[in-house]
Every structure is written in structure tokens, then in C-alpha cells.
Amino acid sequence: MFKKVLIANRGEIAVRVIRACKEWGINTVAVHSDVDAESMHVRLADESVCIGSHQPQNSYLNIPSIMSAVDLTGAEAIHPGYGFLSENSKFSEIVSKHGIKFIGPSADIISKMGDKIEAKKIAKKYGLPVIEGSEGEVRSLSEAKSICKEIGYPVLIKAAGGGGGKGMKIVDKESELENLFLTAKTEAKKFFGKDELYIEKYFKNPRHIEVQIMSGKNKTVHLGERDCSVQRRHQKLIEETPSPVLTDSQREDLLNKTVKMVEQINYEGAGTVEFIFENGKFYFLEMNTRVQVEHPVTEVQTGIDIVKEQLWIAFTGQTALKQSDIKPRGHSIECRINAENPALNFQPSPGVINVCHQPSGFRTRVDGSIFQGCKITPYYDSLIAKVICKGRNRTEAIQRTLRSLDEFVLEGITTTIELHKKILNHKKFIDSNFDTNWLSKEKFF
């Protein structure tokens, strides 16, 4: 196994990777910005290197600084976590050229599957149903009008290199197209460095369902699906597995087709294939070539340590998992705890946590990087912790999650904890009668 791994990330995912490395007996290197010097991931790592100021482009997105930290510490491999440089093919390529192992797929795969247009073509080629829309980049407003007329409104304009809801616009009618097309182009350039857009049919009441895969040179296996339909501004808040709306035959069809597609592209590592599900049909959405924020809900459901398996695949090239050994049981739910004020349109809530009591108990897990006295800065993503609970069935999982949220005490900042309680107590959630647009229509505050 690797002797030393550098984690090119921060926050709870850096803590998660450090823990997995320690269980393999691997020494760890944390990199950090100036404002993160006292963070938990820095305290837990065996070594740490300051790589720049609080602006992400000067630190966590600064490839030369990260590579200098590798040279300085003698790390053999880099784990990119999620976000930041995790799906940056240039970073992966540079790491590999320096003789360092990038814990993830090849730069070529990251590039192909990270481009939403190219990924859609690949998915279609290998048998996954895709959403009706443009075949490639939409370069002009006149071309956009033609495509929208052909597939019919409403449509969704998306950034080809994007994610997280940035550069994404819903167009209900032609009179809105020009303004939203130009706005999406501007946002795509700002957030992703290129203004390439594509257009696809918009689904009004979809579920968001994704499949977790682990793949090596020897084989590809799936760890089941996750239902991530509770979202705000196209970003997930609650994930659960299994999906309460799939039949056994729908599930089997989805999982089998996903594994076959991933096998065909010679994928290595952990990955997630995401789908829109509406009226009993699946449509390929995108593939994330990294570990997901919501991976713990699958871990507690299957008993598989996804991050440790990532490390094993990176070191050996093969997965040690067998599909026949993966037997999910019960039901699991994950709530993302964000430092945000849901009553003020999810406005970020930085500050100092002066009281911190995290839940525990039977089949309750908390992944985070917070502690009493820690500072939540305004410079990065607002996710501070995740509560994951498992039950014998969905009803017990909901009750256990509510019990755990009641135990979670954080003072000094505003969080989404109370919102999660309201959602989990809501009849529509209990009945699983919701879609990805539910939160935008429901009044919780």
C-alpha cells in the first residue's frame, strides 16, 4: 500500500480521507489555506503544508502549490476528494506526469465524462437512455431557438463543463430564451472557464437517482442506487437508499445497464452515474468521476468503505469487491448540515461554533470537520457535517434521523438542522410524494 498520501482538499472530505488512510497504515499530508491552519483536517494529518491564501484559486485550486507540497513531503499519491480539482483533467495529467498516483480515473476519462455533451454521447453509445436535446454545443441564439422548437418547451440550458446548478437555466417559453441563454453563457464562463452550453428537455416533476460504482481493471460492481431528490437550487440536501419509488425490476434494469456502460469505458476508481427518473423511465444525466458528498449513505447501507476501496484500486488497479458479496439491508438516510439560513434563501452563516454537541447512538454516524471553537469562514462551501442514519426500514430510518437531529446542538451559527426536521416530518416526505422541485414550491419557514 502507499506509504504517504496527500489530500488535496479541506473540510469534512479531507477528514474522511485521512481516516481511511490511517486504517490502511498510510501517513497523510494535509494542505491548507492560511485561514484553515487550525482546521480539523490539519490537526488529524501527520504533516501539513500551507499552500496559499484563503481565495481558492490561490490555495486549493493552485496546482503548482499543491505539487510543491508533494515534492516537499515525498507523498506518493494524491486524493482529490470532491469539488476543487477532483474532476480537473489537467490536474490529473500533471500529477501522473510527475510520477505521482492520482486517486481516481485517468485524465482522459475525467475529460470525456466531465464534458456533459461528450458524456451524453458515450452513455448513448453504450446503451443508456439519454434526454432529448442538442447533440453538441449550442453556439448561437438562432440555433437554440431551433432546438427548443423541435423538442418543445420547457427546456433546460446547461453549462457543458458545469455542475452544482451553476450556468443552469429553465426556459418555459420562447420569449424568455434570449435573456436566459445569454445569462447562462456568462455564468458558464465565470464559473467553469468556458461558455459552452447545451440544451435538453426539462422535466417538471423528476426524481434524481444515481448509481454508485466501484471499478478496477478486473471488473465493475455497483453498490446500489441513491435517491437524491430533496434539493434546493439544484443542490442536494437529503439522500436516501434504496430509492422508495423504484420497483425491483426498474432497479435491476438501471443497475445492470449502468455497470455495462462503466465497464465499456475502462473506468478505474469510485464513480457515480446520475439519472433523471420520471413516469417510470430513466434518462442519463451525467457521471461524476470522483467520490460523492453522499457516499456515506451507501457505506452504511452496504458495509463497504468506499474511500478505502478507492485507495486499494489506485494502488493495485483492481477492485477486491465481488457483486455477490454486496448485500444492502434496511434503509439509510443522509442529511447535509450546512452553515446557512434557510429562512433567508439559504444565506451563508459564517461564524464561530461556541457550542458543539454531535449525535451518536445505534446506527448513527456523523461525518464532519467541526468542533467547539472552530471558525466557519465565508470563503468555501457551506457544508459542515453530514448525519447518516440506518433503520430496518424507511420509517425507522426517518425516526432515527429525527432523533439524531434533535441531539445535534450547534450554537454560534445558523444551520439547516431545523429545516431537515421539518422535511422529515412532512407528509410528502413520509409518503415519498415529492420531486426535485418540491422545496422551491413548499413553504417551510
As annotated, the active-site residues are 290
Burial 127-165 (b: 16+ CB within 10 A, else e): ebebbebbeeebeeeeebeebbeebeeebbbbbbbbbee
